[in-house]
Amino acid sequence: MNKNLFLALIGVLIGFGCQTSQEEKAIQLSELSISEIHEAYLSGDYTAEQLTRAYLGRIDSLDERINSISVINGEALNQAKALDQELKNTGKLRPLHGIPLIVKDNINTKGLPTTAGSLALKDFIPDEDAPIIAKLVDAGAIILAKSNMAEWAFSPMHSESSTFGTTRNPYNLDHVPAGSSGGTGAAVAANFGTVGLGTDTGNSIRGPSSHNALVGFRTTLGLISRTGIVPLYLRNDVVGPMCRTVEDATRVMEVMVGIDPKDPLTEYSKGKTEVDYQQFLVKSGLENARIGVLRELTEDMDSEISGLFEKAILDLESLGAEVIDPIVIPNFSELRQNQWCATFQEDLEAFLSEYVKNDSIQTLEDIIRIGSNAQFAIDRLKMMAGNSGRWGLEAEDCGNVYEDPRRIAFREAIEAVMDSLQLDAIVYPSWNYPAARIERFQEEYRGDNSQIISPHTGQPAFTVPMGFTNNDLPAGLQFLGRMYSEPTLIRLIYAYEQGTKHRKPPKISEPRKE
C-alpha cells in the first residue's frame, strides 16, 4: 500500500498523532533492541501491536524529511496482533517475535511491491516471499515497511530512485546516506524500525551502515540465500542485516543462515555454519586477538576520519588486542585489478523470467525503453547494455568466488598473510571520507573501501561505528575475516562495540504537531 495513503487511513481509523494512546506514547522507541522488546513483551509493558503502531507513528511524523520508507505493509498490525495472541496462548517467544523489520525494496515480499526503485518494476508485487523473508517471518519478524534504495542498486554513492526519490542522511539532511541500501540505513538509524535488511554487491550494506552509525554484516558468499532478490551482479551479491547493535545484527543473521537449493552457492556452506551465533557475543572478545592494519587502504584520507581510525587502533589495543601495523599483502595493487564482471543483463533477465513474468518486461532493452526519472540510472542502464564479461579483460571468463582463478588468487594472498601472522581479522576504515553532500555526491564520493576486497574474495566483512566527525557525520571501522569466520568477527566487533559505545541516534527534530 502507498505509504502516505496508508498512514492517512490508519490515522483516521485508529488515531495516530495527537490521538495516540497513553500506552503507545510511553514506548521509548529510540535505540530499542530486540532483547529489550522481548523483555517488555514478557513483562506486559507493551504489545507487538502497540510497538508497531508507535513505529508507524514515528515514520508518519519524521520520514517526510528523510524519505527512507517507500511502502508501508498494510498487514503489519494484523501480523502484530496474531503474534500477541500467540504469546498469550503459549507464553513463548519466537527468535524475532514481534520485531518490526525494514526491508530493502529489491527483496521479494509477498503482497508488497518490489520495485528496485525502478519504473519498470513499480507495479511488480511478488506472490511469494524470498526464502530469507520466509525464514524471518517464521522467526516472528513483522515486515513493517520497504525502504527506498538507489535505482537497480547501481549507486554506492547515493540513494535515489525513480519510484520514491532521494533519501537523506538523518544525521545531516544535506548529505547522502550512501547507496544503494541508503533507505534501510537511514530508517534504522532514525529508529523507524528495530532492525533492517540491505543487499551488498560492492558496498551497499557496509557503506550506508558506516554513514548512518550502524552495524552492517556482509557475510561470506554462500552463507545466506540470495533467491528472490533483484540482482545487480549475482556473483557478488549478498543480503544481510543493518542494525543499531552487533547483538541485533547477529540475531537477524542467525535466522537467515542455511542452504537453499535454488541458490547453488549456498551448498558451499555445508558443514561450515553454526546454529547458535549468539554464543560469540563475548565482551572480552578482543583479549589476545591479533588484528592487522591494512595501511594500503588509508593512503588518501580525510583528517578527521584518520583521527578516528588511529583512535580505533588504540582502542583495540586497550581492549586486549595485539595490533600488527602495518601488514602488507604481496601484489595487492595488482590482485585487486580486473575483478569486476558485468553480469547485470544476464542476472536481471533471469529474475524477470522467474518472478516478474510480464511479456512487456523481459529484457534489459525493455527496461531501457521504459526509462527512468534519474539520469544517473539511465546512464548506468546504457552502460550495462553495452558491456558484458570482465571489465578490462572481456575475453576472460567470469566465475563464482569458489571457481574463478582471479578471485581465488586474491583471497589466497590475503588469507596467507593472515595465516603467517596468525591474524584474527584485518581492519581499515569503511570510508576514508565523510558522507558527501547530496548536491555534489559524484565529485565528493571518495574513499569507499568496501568495494575493494570482500565482494571479490567472498570473505566476510563487518562494519561497526567508530565515531563521528565534528559536524556529526558517522564513520565506520571495518573488520575483514577468513571465509566463514563470522563467529570470530562477531566476537571481535562485539567487544569493540561494547568497549567504545560509539553509536548514538541522529538529532532529528521533534515529531510535527497536528
Q: Between 280 and 514, whose confidence is greater?
A: 280
Catalytic positions, please? Answer: 104, 180, 204
Position 511 pLDDT exceeds 70: no
Chain segment 307-316, per-residue pLDDT in tens? 999 999 999 9
Q: Domains for the chain: give ranges and CATH numbers.
A: 3-338+401-500 (3.90.1300.10), 341-390 (no CATH)
Please state whether beta strands 160-161 and 165-166 pair in parallel, antiparallel, or not at all (unpaired): antiparallel
Provide the percentage of residues in the chain whose pLDDT is more than 70.
Answer: 94
Provide the percentage of residues in the chain whose pLDDT is more than 90.
Answer: 91
Chain segment 274-291, per-residue pLDDT in tens? 999 999 999 999 999 999
Cell numbers found for residue 1: 500500500
Residues in the chain: 514
User: pLDDT class for 386, splitting at 50, 70, 90?
Assistant: confident
Global pTM reads 0.95
Taking Cα atoms as reference points, which of 99, 100, 81 lies closest to residue 89? 81
What is the DSSP secondary-structure string of 327-387?
A: ---TTHHHHTTT--EE-HHHHHHHHIIIII-BTTB-SHHHHHHH--S-HHHHHHHHHHHT-
- The identity of residue 501, as a single letter, is K
What pLDDT is stored for residue 26 in this prediction? Answer: 77
Residue with cell 525494514: 102
State mean pLDDT over 322-350: 97
What pLDDT is stored for residue 15 in this prediction? Answer: 41
User: pLDDT class for 3, splitting at 50, 70, 90?
Assistant: low
Chain segment 38-74, per-residue pLDDT in tens? 999 999 999 999 999 999 999 999 999 999 999 999 9
User: pLDDT class for 19, splitting at 50, 70, 90?
Assistant: very low
Position 485 pLDDT exceeds 50: yes
Chain segment 81-121, per-residue pLDDT in tens? 999 999 999 999 999 999 999 999 999 999 999 999 999 99
Taking Cα atoms as reference points, which of 249, 243, 246 lies closest to residue 224? 249
User: pLDDT class for 391, splitting at 50, 70, 90?
Assistant: confident
State mean pLDDT over 372-399: 90
State mean pLDDT over 131-160: 98
User: pLDDT class for 22, splitting at 50, 70, 90?
Assistant: very low
What pLDDT is stored for residue 208 in this prediction? Answer: 98
Taking Cα atoms as reference points, which of 19, 353, 430, 6 lies closest to residue 185? 430
Taking Cα atoms as reference points, which of 58, 138, 144, 66 lies closest to residue 102? 144
Mean pLDDT of the chain: 94
Chain segment 177-187, per-residue pLDDT in tens? 999 999 999 99
Sequence-ordered list of residues with C-beta below 8 angstroms from that of 150, at least 6 positions apart, any chain: 117, 156, 157, 158, 159, 160, 161, 179, 180, 182, 204
Grouping H, G, I as helix, E, B as strand and the rest as coil, residue 241 is: strand
Chain segment 416-457, per-residue pLDDT in tens? 999 999 999 999 999 999 999 999 999 999 999 999 999 999
Helix axes 486-500, 246-256, angle to 10 degrees: 160
Cell numbers found for residue 189: 538509524
Taking Cα atoms as reference points, which of 182, 178, 170 lies closest to residue 70? 182
Grouping H, G, I as helix, E, B as strand and the rest as coil, residue 292 is: strand
What pLDDT is stored for residue 5 in this prediction? Answer: 54
Position 172 pLDDT exceeds 90: yes
What pLDDT is stored for residue 427 in this prediction? Answer: 99
CB 421 within 8 A of CB 287: no
Position 21 pLDDT exceeds 80: no
Grouping H, G, I as helix, E, B as strand and the rest as coil, residue 32 is: coil
